[in-house]
Amino acid sequence: MVARSVAVLAVLSLLLTGCVSRDEASGAQEAPETVPLTELADLTLQIGDQKGGTESLLRAAGVLDDLPYKIAFSTFTSGPPQVEAATAGKIDFAITGNTPPIFGAASGANVKVVAAYDGGGGGDQILVHTDSPITEIAELRGKRIAVGKGSSAHGHILAQLKSVGLTPNDVTLVFLQPADALSAFTQREADAWAIWDPYTAQTASQLPVRSIGQAKDVTNGYWFGVASDQALADPKRNTALADLLVRFEKAARWAQDNPQQWARSYSEAVGLDLNIAEVSQSRSLRLPTELDDEVVASEQKIADLFADAGQIASPAPEFDKWVDRRYNDVLRPLLISTN
């Protein structure tokens, strides 16, 4: 506990003195000088979110109670629209799955990955109906698979197909957002559904389904904090983002230490049965981790996978050019080990 307290004090000291690391990663822009937190009263940070995501966790953990700035949350159905909104300057920051930043890089999006979170990948699954003759990934050949384009599930299904020697040309990918995908899957218009929590847990509680694959077996399972270039270039927003990222780390630690309390809060936030919330959050909690070379390299593999599969232009973008590690030093003391 003493070590943790010292680490927290070190983080706060860095923030108050405006010392945000300026890592010279190839994608990083020059970080502006930070300002005192006391000068942020007139700032509203625009945050993209998904239902039951960032805002719910921050509020449940009580880390928004003393904000020196304002926050406006906007809800999106998935990660790709968040990246588009950040590029358009409509939001400053969002946390997405591992694939949306790759699509953003492929399209030249004006964003940078600034934080990494280990989601494990246990909740990202490939579902089929219990009475389906499909029992393994190889049997998806010639089948229709519902999936959100550019979502983490999109990367997951590509990795699963590659693992058994299949390509997108061997199946029919039906690109649908979760609500429409659920309808198509329920009505047997899709033979399988590549999806993430809480939809995975919710579907398993409502329909007779089984999983034939999990992302943790074939891909990295990471989530990423994505910030707009515009926000990163602005002294006040840059300062506020550093503060917000530390608050999220504290919230993630609180959720890990208080799983039942978090599950109840999450259940209320998304309107799900408590049992579904407990299952979802027990395997899909976003744990802050180091944004290091290993993480970036694992994302490059996914980018290469998309390019090789013809899902984005080839060659794949150099993912490191869309990474900015300026906050690494500030965030490092509160990182959560998943070992």
Kindly report the average pLDDT of the chain as a whole number. 91
- 30 — pLDDT class (breaks 50, 70, 90): confident
Residue 25: the pLDDT is: 39
Distance of alpha carbon 159 from alpha carbon 153, whole angstroms: 10
Residue 285: the pLDDT is: 86
- Topology alike, domains 2-119+221-334 and 125-217: yes
- 28 — pLDDT class (breaks 50, 70, 90): low
Q: Is the pLDDT of residue 331 over 80?
A: yes
Distance of alpha carbon 323 from alpha carbon 318, whole angstroms: 10
> What would the pLDDT profile of 276-292 be if each residue is shown by its tens digit?
999 999 998 899 999 99
Inter-CA distances, 104 with 88, 91, 219, 305, Å: 12, 15, 19, 15
- 26 — pLDDT class (breaks 50, 70, 90): very low
Domain 2-119+221-334 is of which CATH architecture?
Answer: 3-Layer(aba) Sandwich (3.40)
- 86 — pLDDT class (breaks 50, 70, 90): very high
Greatest Cα pair distance, the chain, in angstroms, is: 62
Q: Is the pLDDT of residue 138 over 80?
A: yes
Q: Is the pLDDT of residue 333 over 70?
A: yes
Domain boundaries, the chain: 2-119+221-334, 125-217
Q: Is the pLDDT of residue 162 over 90?
A: yes
**213 SS3 class:** strand
Domain 125-217 is of which CATH architecture?
Answer: 3-Layer(aba) Sandwich (3.40)
> What would the pLDDT profile of 222-261 be if each residue is shown by its tens digit?
999 999 999 999 999 999 999 999 999 999 999 999 999 9
Give the residue from 115, 146, 90, 130 showing the smallest Cα distance to 211: 130
Q: Is the pLDDT of residue 29 over 80?
A: no
Q: At what angle do helices 274-284 and 199-206 cross, to 10 degrees?
A: 140
Check if the beta carbon of residue 317 is closer than 8 Å to that of residue 19. no
Q: Is the pLDDT of residue 164 over 80?
A: yes
Name residue, tokens 């290469």. Answer: 304
Q: Is the pLDDT of residue 310 over 80?
A: yes
